[in-house]
């Protein structure tokens, strides 16, 4: 079979146009990799291979009938991807990697899935994640943890663990993911891939199993910024089924990537480079900062003074919304009973219910919302001085499986550099920027003001033209 690794969306579609390979050959190649290797990675919860083959045959028939120009009107024609298992897929199990929903088959698809299907992407299935998207490591799935393809003894990051691991393993070209407190950026960093957490409301949440409704952002994971840009311009945009989605024009992200970062003002948040930051993480992010500086970017230090309160504020707000959202899963309307909830889910329900209870709401939930406003103002003030911020995604490289499962607080601190972005509702782009001596990936994040995805993509795209970290793949 033709070797089809290290191919982008553009290169795949160019191959279709030139008849270097067929869509069916591409789909069969990825299916073969999944069948051969995913038994050790555990990135998929459900596969849809038969349907994928049918769609591949239909795509080849279209190309043969209408010629290569058909691809111009179908931007993702023949592109293999998969969906995090919180995205509703009509006729295909959607479990949220939770026993409560282990046999649930939706009668409708989420808006994101519908838009990708309309663009003629081909799904290979549903991807593992922490149950209900509750987790930072990928270990909380009720169907077994996802493993990091760079080293199977390490976590891939969560909650979008299957999405990042599957892209890194070259099982798919891209994956949908979600980010409530870092759940796109952390696994992207740990698996050496690229991820976009869009502005809150930039992408519809309709049809996605809710975690914390005021924090959830529907994003993407892929190997490169260019591929992220190509897909986000399809998934983004107003959806009248989601009242929180914004009616703001979506840029042609992929066609506007080439503007250089010259004169770009990049801020370094002092609070993100302090105590607790691993030496190797700081070294690799510092190297990336120098790359931007060499290209003409102006680097200056800024402050986000309320960052130290982000974790407690986030976990109170998030848990409160979790307790409300999960109240519907009572075993009566659909799914199994509440006794099927896992330990982490129960912990969050109890914390959230307590925070909202009579006599405590003002002391905890309302106070956390006040802190949220202060954190949002910190970002607003910073973006009056700079165009974007650069920071590590995680204070440490990937950690070992079961290393933090017995200490929930230590696990929660994995999100210390990511949750503020969700509290403020701003976008962030995660990029691989190096490796440890043990060949474990390290990532950085670019953070911008609301609806600055294009500017983030341009900066990230230029960085990836200067480096090859995103091209490196694990040996399975």
- Which residues partner with 390 through β-bridges? 446
3-class SS of residue 44:
strand
Name residues whose C-beta falls within 8 Å of residue 293's C-beta, 6 or more positions apart in sequence: 299
Phi, psi values for residue 395, rounded to 5°: -70, -15
Strands 80-84 and 122-127: parallel
Among candidate residues 159, 161, 194, 307, the one labeled active-site is 159
Catalytic, 183? Answer yes
Among candidate residues 22, 43, 84, 178, the one labeled active-site is 84
> Hey, how many other C-beta atoms are within 10 angstroms of the C-beta on 8?
17
Question: Side by side, which strands form the sheet with 80-84?
Answer: 44-47, 122-127, 80-84, 174-179, 217-222, 194-197, 428-435, 441-447, 388-392, 265-269, 298-302
Tokens read off for 237: 């945009």
- Which residues partner with 429 through β-bridges? 196, 446
Catalytic, 62? Answer no
Tokens read off for 426: 């701003």
C-alpha distances (whole Å) from 422 to each of 68, 153, 238, 290, 346 are 41, 29, 20, 27, 23
Rounded distance between C-alpha atoms, residue 160 and residue 176, angstroms: 9
C-alpha distances (whole Å) from 31 to each of 21, 28, 39, 47, 362 are 16, 5, 13, 9, 52
Among candidate residues 110, 183, 394, 430, the one labeled active-site is 183
Catalytic, 254? Answer no
Peptide bond connecting 159 to the previous residue in cis, omega within 30 degrees of 0: yes
Distance between alpha carbon 389 and the CA centroid of its chain, in Å? 19
Sign, Cα dihedral of 404, 97, 175, 239: negative
Phi, psi values for residue 428, rounded to 5°: -150, 140
Catalytic annotation, residues:
84, 159, 183
């Amino acid at each position: 079979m033709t070797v089809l690794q290290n191919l982008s969306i553009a290169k795949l579609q160019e191959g279709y146009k030139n008849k270097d390979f067929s869509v069916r050959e591409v789909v069969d190649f990825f299916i073969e990799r999944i069948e051969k290797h995913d038994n050790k990675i555990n990135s998929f919860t459900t596969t849809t291979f038969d349907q994928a083959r049918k769609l591949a045959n239909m795509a080849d028939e279209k190309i043969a009938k209408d010629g290569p120009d058909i691809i111009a009107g179908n931007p993702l024609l023949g592109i293999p991807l998969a969906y995090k298992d919180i995205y509703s897929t009509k006729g295909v199990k959607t479990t949220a990697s939770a026993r409560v929903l282990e046999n649930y088959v939706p009668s409708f698809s989420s808006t994101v899935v519908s838009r990708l299907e309309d663009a003629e992407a081909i799904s290979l299935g549903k991807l593992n994640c922490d149950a209900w998207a509750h987790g930072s490591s990928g270990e909380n799935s009720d169907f077994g943890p996802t493993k990091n393809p760079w080293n199977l003894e390490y976590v891939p990051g969560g909650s979008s663990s299957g999405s990042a691991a599957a892209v890194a393993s070259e099982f798919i070209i891209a994956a949908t993911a979600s980010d409530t407190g870092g759940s796109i950026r952390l696994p992207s960093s740990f698996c050496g891939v690229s991820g976009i957490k869009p502005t809150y409301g930039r992408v519809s949440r309709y049809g996605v199993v809710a975690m914390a409704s005021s924090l959830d952002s529907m994003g993407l994971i892929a190997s490169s910024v260019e591929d992220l840009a190509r897909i986000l311009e399809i998934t983004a945009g107003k959806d009248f089924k989601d009242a929180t989605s914004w009616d703001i024009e979506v840029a042609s992200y992929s066609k506007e990537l080439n503007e250089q970062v010259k004169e770009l003002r990049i801020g370094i948040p002092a609070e993100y480079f302090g105590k607790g930051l691993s030496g190797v993480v700081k070294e690799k992010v510092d190297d990336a900062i120098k790359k931007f500086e060499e290209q003409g970017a102006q680097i200056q230090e800024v402050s986000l003074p309320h960052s130290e309160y982000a974790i407690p504020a986030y976990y109170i707000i998030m848990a409160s919304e979790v307790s409300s959202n999960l109240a519907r899963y009572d075993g009566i309307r659909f799914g199994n009973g509440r006794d099927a909830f896992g330990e982490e889910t129960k912990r969050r329900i109890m914390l959230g219910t307590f925070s909202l209870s009579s006599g405590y709401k003002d002391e905890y939930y309302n106070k956390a919302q006040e802190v949220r406003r202060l954190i949002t103002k910190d970002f607003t003030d910073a973006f009056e001085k700079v165009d974007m911020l650069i920071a590590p995604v995680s204070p440490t490289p990937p950690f070992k499986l079961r290393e933090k499962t017995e200490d929930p607080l230590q696990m929660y601190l994995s999100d210390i550099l990511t949750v503020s972005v969700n509290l403020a509702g701003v976008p962030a782009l995660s990029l691989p920027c190096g490796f440890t001596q043990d060949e474990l990936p390290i990532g950085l994040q670019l953070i911008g003001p609301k609806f600055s995805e294009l500017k983030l993509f341009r900066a990230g795209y230029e960085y990836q033209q200067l480096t090859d970290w995103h091209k490196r793949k694990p040996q399975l």
